[in-house]
Each structure stands twice: as structure tokens, then as C-alpha cells.
């Protein structure tokens, strides 16, 4: 049994109420008195035998054939775009599934390369149409699979011959110090002679209740690193060296840097080197301090905190060796794997004066070389097409 929304008169299945009271046409009710409200001016109606206020929330159930109404109300352009996108997605997925072991899309890529000559005698002046005379085998799209190193070298030499290389003038050390006064005041000129990693002791002026990582920016702005620093807090005081009433902590820089382009295997190399018992890394795989965080006002102390776990192990080894032979070298080496250290110099435009040559006056490698002339750089590169 349904009820009229304008009054509380019941609507019979034959909808006879439409003739008895004109309630569908607007706010008028008929001259008939409603049997439920007995003539009183109440704005109530009943749903499922329960009395409800007019302001109650009603559940509107649409018919099944109205589900397509929203789609049909789309503009024609939106409908065409949606259909076109679905077609493209279907074709791409089908090409992956049907290609199987071919390891490439059935849809041909616009970036195809022709055959590379296996004969290094082919010079740039030769016409590519004459390649048939040399009986070259058609190569696949990726040159790295061909392993034709003489031809690759010929191509590189041909490109290099068209480029004019100029020697970059290295900045003066005093200019670097004026640019980064605080950094040069924290990192010393010389490191411990019996440590393979560049380490040194600095005085810690805090008490045993002092939180050494209270102001560390990596902890403050990233929740996922807080558990790591929580573990370092618990063992921090036990790894200090106490001499003549003063406390000293061991500070370290990386012995080597893994750098390179993205998607070139830096993470894989990082995971493999971590398995070696004498190789330790920073608490964060990619701190990006030299190229990014340094310009975000992350002080160098925050960067050095990332190597405290490795510094603790080196400190233990140095303390054990001092009792036996102080000249014994500690073999633990520290690494850092920020790939951006190789190529990211974008922040210089906001902090350095633009030079007339269009390049930064100071590069990342200038500062690393100033502190660590013997630093090791492991560069990870990859075929650009494959990457």
C-alpha cells in the first residue's frame, strides 16, 4: 500500500485516490478529509506501517533500466574518449598476451633502429641503401643484444667527433668553503688512519638523557625512518668514547657511492653488496643529500646520522684493536646509493648565481672531491632503449 507524499491519504493499487483528491497536481488536497490524520493539519505519512516525519530520509530505489541513464547523459565527446581509451587498453593488453616469448609488443614501436654494420669499415659517408652489398644480417631493435662492440664503438666515435668538448675549470677550494662554511666546519681535513672508511671522532656535548636525533630532519619529515632511529637511540650512549670526562662519537662518510641513471640496477647492486659482512650502508638507501636535501636545509649532521649504525660497528672494532694493535686496519667500508648524485644539479639555480656559461659554478662532485679525494664511485648505466 503506497501513500501520497502531499498528504497522508492512502493510494490504492487502482490509483483511485487521483480521482478522489487532486493531490498529484500540486499542493492542493481535495475536499476530502484524510482518514489517517482525521482532518488535522499534520504533515506526517506512514511507511511500512510506521509513522515518519516528512523530513525523514527516504531510500530511493531506481529501476534497473535507469542504470544506463548516467552513461547516456555523458556528452558525446566524453563517451567517445572513454570508448577510445578502452579500445587502446584492450589492444595493448592483447599485444602483451599474444606476443608470448617474443618479449616485445606486437604493436610496432615508432622507435626502431636499422641494422648496425658488423664491419667497422663502413663510414658515415656511405649510403645506408648500400648496406645490402655488405650482406649485413638484420638486427633486432635493441643493439645491446647484438654484442657487436666494434660497430658500437664506431657509432660512439662518430657521435663524439661531432661534439666539441671543453675542459671544465675546477673551482678554488676557498670558494667552496665560502659557499658551505658550516659543512667545512663539521667535516675535518683528515680522517682516522686505521679506518678504511673516512671516519673521525667529534665531541658530544649532550647528556645521557639527551636525544641525539631530536632535530634530525629525516626523522621529523618521514615516519618510515623513525623506527630505525628509535633503535639507534637505545644504543647510542653505549657507543660513545669517554676520555677525561668528555664524550666523543664516531662520525663517518661513505667510502664509496653507487650512482647512475634510474632503472639501471642500482637497487640490485645495493641489495647484493649488503650481503657482505664488511660492507655497511646508510640507514636510508637513497638519502639524496648531496643533490636535494642539502638545498632543503638539511644540515650535514643529519646526513652523518644516517651512518651511525655503521659507525658503531667501526667504533667497536677500533676499541678491540687498540688493546692489541693500534695500527690494525678496520676493514668495514660504508656505502651510499643515491643514484641522483651523478646527474641531479637542478637545485643550483635557486641558490647559486647563474653563470654566463649556463652551468652551476659548483657541482656535487666538487664538494665530494674536496672532502674525499679518494672516494670510490660505482656508476650504473644501461642501454637507453632498453631502460
pLDDT at 70: 57
**199 and 252 Cβ atoms separated by less than 8 Å:** yes
pTM score of the predicted model: 0.60
Record the cell numbers describing residue 45, joined without a space. 505519512
Q: What are the residues facing 260 on neighbouring strands?
A: 380
pLDDT at 96: 76
Question: Which one, of 197, 173, 170, lies nearest residue 183 by Cα?
Answer: 173
**270 and 281 Cβ atoms separated by less than 8 Å:** yes
pLDDT at 48: 53
Nearest-5° Cα angle at 50, 46 to 56: 65
CA-to-CA separations, 324 to 241, 329, 333, 352, in angstroms, rounded = 18, 12, 21, 50
What separation, in Å, do the N-terminal and C-terminal C-alpha atoms of the chain show?
A: 69
pLDDT at 306: 95
Alpha carbons 270 and 258: distance in angstroms, whole number: 8
pLDDT along the chain (387 residues), means of 10: 51 48 45 50 52 51 52 69 90 78 47 43 43 45 61 86 83 92 94 94 87 91 84 89 90 96 93 96 93 91 95 91 74 95 82 62 90 95 85
pLDDT at 311: 95
Task: Report the number of secondary-structure helices (H) and strands (E) in the chain.
Answer: 13, 11
pLDDT at 324: 67
Q: Are strands 241-243 and 246-252 parallel, antiparallel or unpaired?
A: antiparallel
pLDDT at 312: 94
Q: Grid cell 647510542 — which residue? A: 236
pLDDT at 128: 42
Alpha carbons 87 and 363: distance in angstroms, whole number: 48
Q: Are strands 246-252 and 199-204 parallel, antiparallel or unpaired?
A: antiparallel
Alpha carbons 142 and 319: distance in angstroms, whole number: 54
3-class DSSP state of 41: coil
Amino acid at each position: 500500500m503506497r501513500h501520497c507524499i502531499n498528504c497522508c491519504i492512502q493510494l490504492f493499487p487502482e490509483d483511485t485516490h487521483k480521482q478522489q483528491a487532486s493531490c498529484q497536481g500540486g499542493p492542493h488536497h481535495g475536499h476530502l478529509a484524510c482518514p489517517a490524520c482525521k482532518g488535522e493539519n499534520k504533515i506526517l505519512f506512514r511507511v511500512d506501517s510506521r509513522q515518519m516525519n516528512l523530513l525523514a530520509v527516504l531510500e530511493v530505489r531506481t529501476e534497473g533500466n535507469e542504470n544506463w541513464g548516467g552513461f547516456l547523459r555523458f556528452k558525446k565527446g566524453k563517451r567517445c574518449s572513454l570508448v577510445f581509451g578502452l579500445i587502446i587498453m584492450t589492444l595493448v593488453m592483447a599485444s602483451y598476451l599474444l606476443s608470448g616469448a617474443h618479449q616485445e609488443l606486437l604493436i610496432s614501436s615508432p622507435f626502431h633502429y636499422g641494422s648496425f654494420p658488423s664491419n667497422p669499415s663502413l663510414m658515415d659517408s656511405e649510403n645506408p641503401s648500400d648496406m645490402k652489398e655488405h650482406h649485413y644480417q638484420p638486427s633486432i631493435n635493441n643493439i645491446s643484444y647484438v654484442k657487436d662492440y666494434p660497430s658500437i664503438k664506431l657509432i660512439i666515435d662518430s657521435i663524439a667527433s661531432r661534439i666539441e668538448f671543453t675542459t671544465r675549470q675546477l673551482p678554488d677550494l676557498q670558494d667552496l668553503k665560502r659557499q658551505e662554511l658550516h659543512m667545512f666546519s663539521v667535516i675535518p681535513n683528515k680522517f682516522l688512519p686505521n679506518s678504511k672508511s673516512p671516519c673521525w671522532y667529534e665531541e658530544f656535548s649532550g647528556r645521557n638523557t639527551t636525544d641525539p636525533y631530536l632535530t634530525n630532519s629525516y626523522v621529523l619529515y618521514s615516519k618510515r625512518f623513525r623506527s630505525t632511529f628509535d633503535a639507534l637511540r637505545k644504543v647510542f650512549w653505549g657507543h660513545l668514547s669517554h676520555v677525561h670526562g668528555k664524550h666523543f662519537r664516531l662520525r663517518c662518510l661513505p667510502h664509496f657511492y653507487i650512482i647512475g641513471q634510474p632503472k639501471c640496477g642500482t637497487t640490485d647492486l645495493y641489495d647484493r653488496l649488503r650481503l657482505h659482512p664488511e660492507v655497511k650502508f646508510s640507514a636510508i638507501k637513497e638519502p639524496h643529500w648531496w643533490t636535494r636535501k642539502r638545498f632543503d636545509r638539511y644540515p650535514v649532521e643529519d646526513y652523518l646520522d644516517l651512518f651511525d649504525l655503521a659507525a658503531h660497528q667501526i667504533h667497536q672494532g677500533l676499541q678491540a684493536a687498540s688493546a692489541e694493535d693500534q695500527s690494525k686496519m678496520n676493514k668495514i667500508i660504508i656505502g651510499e646509493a643515491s643514484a641522483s648524485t651523478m646527474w641531479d644539479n637542478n637545485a643550483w639555480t635557486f641558490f647559486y648565481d647563474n653563470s654566463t656559461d649556463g652551468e652551476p659554478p659548483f657541482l656535487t662532485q666538487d664538494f665530494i672531491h674536496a672532502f674525499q679525494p679518494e672516494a670510490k664511485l660505482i656508476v650504473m648505466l644501461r642501454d637507453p632503449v632498453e631502460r
